[in-house]
Amino acid sequence: MRLATTLGLCVIAAAIAANANAGPITIDTNFGAGADAQISRRGIFTSFDERNTNYGSIDSLNIRGDANFNPWHRKAYLRFDLSATTAPFTAASLDLTFIGGIPLTIEIFGMADGNSGENWSESSITWENAPGNNRTASGGSGDSTGSNSFYSEFSSLGTFGPQSSTVGSTHSYSSTALLNFVNSDTNGAVTFGIRAIPTSGTSITFASGENTQYSAPTLRLTDSSVEAPPTPAPAPATLALFGLGLAGLGWKRRKQA
């Protein structure tokens, strides 16, 4: 008797679940061959030279733009493993968790699909060896390119204005160019480069994959193959499962009678 009741409820639950909308696909930089790291150009003429320092093991990604002479720039590199997904996607956003600094305008770039630079290593990437990084030492008032830009291996996916200053908040970045970039992937890996639009030494900090308190950089995708209409009609198979569930409950009531 109890078995019939349980079976009936389980079948009904399964029928409802089978007809529910699937959620977005979320992939962070800790999944598979994913990676994240910041690179820094600080102190090219000082004792604090960071150009050959690797930051792949720290729990943050500091992005900085400096329009002054001898600019101190920091950029972020992110790689996501898409090998377990199948394009096309109908929506895509890059989600970063704000943990400090000043919300500012950033520009996100995507590395060309299949470029050898996509194989960069989190444990060894630096300002000097980062693929596609413009390492030139330009600076001065109004510097918007030079050492704060990327080479042709990258293409811009959009410039995005400041978002929330609440620590732990999610800054979500999306654009048509970003969606098209993800959909054009053919080798199961995408690399993003992020720079700050140069200002007078301000920076923003996001959580990296090594952060144990806040979420790692995440690529949020909507797969067209799992989308459901807002008010879908029950499929025949779903109705059949629902009917089996009701039959099980009805059998229980008859036994009790």
| Cα distance between residue 191 and residue 86, in whole Å | 17
DSSP assignments along 109-151, one per residue: EEEPTT-GGGG--TTT--TTT-TTB------STT--SGGGSB-
pLDDT of residue 220: 97
Alpha-carbon 220 to chain mean position: 6
Task: Give the position of tokens 């520009």.
Answer: 107
Compute CA distances 7 → 2, 20, 49, 237, 245, whole Å.
Answer: 8, 20, 67, 17, 7
Position 11 scores a pLDDT of 41
pLDDT recorded at residue 242: 46
Per-residue confidence (pLDDT) for residue 97, from 0 to 100: 98
The whole-angstrom separation of Cα 187 and Cα 192 is 15
* Cα gap 195→164, rounded to integer Å: 18
Parts of the chain with a pLDDT under 50: 1-21, 139-146, 227-232, 235, 238, 241-242, 249, 251-255
For position 3, what pLDDT does the model report?
45
Residue 234 tokens read as 């029950």
pLDDT of residue 79: 98
Question: What was the pLDDT predicted at 14?
Answer: 44
Tokens 């030139």 belong to which residue? 136
Other Cβ atoms less than 10 A from the Cβ of 2: the count is 7
What local confidence, expressed as pLDDT, does residue 51 receive? 87
Three-state DSSP class for residue 100: strand
Cα–Cα distance, 212 to 231 (Å, whole number)? 39
C-alpha to C-alpha distance for 29 and 163, rounded to whole angstroms: 22
Residues 6+ positions from 17 with CB-CB distance below 8 Å: none
In the Cβ-directed half-sphere of 179, how many Cα atoms lie within 13 Å?
Answer: 12
Query: Which residue reads 């995408």 in tokens?
Result: 190
Nearest to 55 by CA among 168, 190, 203, 208: 208
pLDDT of residue 58: 97
Which phi and psi angles does 61 have, rounded to 5°? Answer: -125, 105
User: In sequence order, what are the beta bridge partners of 32?
Assistant: none
Q: Tokens representing 116?
A: 């050898």
pLDDT tens for 32-90 read: 999 999 999 876 555 678 889 999 999 999 999 876 666 788 999 999 999 999 889 99
